[in-house]
Amino acid sequence: MLPKVDVAIKKSKKQIIVEEAARLFREKGFVGTTMRDLASEVGMEAASLYNHIRSKDEILIEICLSLANTYSAKMDEVYPSDYTPIGKIKKLIALHIQINSMSSPLATVMNDEWRHLPEPTKTKFLDMRKRYEYQFTDIIQQGIEKGEIKQLDPRITLYTLLSSVRWLQHWYHANRELDVKDIKDNIMEMFLSGLTDNQYEWKN
């Protein structure tokens, strides 16, 4: 019984360290954050951190891979499902919006600091991302073939979609007036039927 409790306490401390690290990495970047910064934030000496984590790199690995797994798991659920392509895209974008606006610093760290991952983790991470993007592109392609989506370049469409919700990670935490549902509704409306009313002639 006692060892179990010990393990539980240790795990919890590690979680605190990783979460605080994510906050600092978002604020100052991975390279710009020192182990002494992190230590003072969690209330210990820098050397003591190493009783809970193996290295600074390990923290980044943990953050990036756990979030990458969340995305991959959702994709593996949605991709082979019975939703229409548009339905699948809506499910996936909803996940991106939710993660970027709620799961706080983790999303920023994965998005902005993955390039500092040590090998071979960096390659693994990029492979996961490549697979995710491939599946997403395929969904868009299917939507085009079914006539649900216009004749657009699937890759341009994919990257524009994924990119467009990233601002939430820098913004939401300072502005709580708008809730996630409003944001989601606005963004979905923009993407699915556009900025303009249909009768408006915008082409030059």
Partner DNA sequence: CCTACCGATCGGTAGG
Rounded to whole angstroms, the Cα distance separating 148 from 76 reads 22
For 30, the token pair is 């991975």
Give me the least distance between CB of 196 and DNA, in Å please. Answer: 48
Q: Does 13 bind DNA (CB under 7 A)?
A: yes
For 101, the token pair is 């606006």
Give me the least distance between CB of 174 and DNA, in Å please. Answer: 26
The torsion of the CA quartet 21, 26, 27, 32, rounded to 10 degrees, works out to: 70
Rounded to whole angstroms, the Cα distance separating 128 from 183 reads 28
Rounded to whole angstroms, the Cα distance separating 182 from 113 reads 29
Give me the least distance between CB of 188 and a copy of itself, in Å please. Answer: 8
Contact with DNA (CB under 7 A) among 6, 7, 8, 55: 55
Subset of residues 65 to 104 that bind DNA, contact rule: CB under 7 A: none
What is the C-alpha radius of gyration for the chain, rounded to an integer number of angstroms? 20
- The site for a copy of itself (CB under 8 A) is made up of 27-32, 86, 89-90, 112, 115-116, 147-150, 152-153, 156-157, 159-168, 171, 178, 182-183, 186-187, 189-198, 200, 202
Q: In terms of CB distance, is 115 or 181 closer to DNA?
A: 115
44 binds, among a copy of itself, DNA, none (CB under 5 to 8 A by kind): DNA
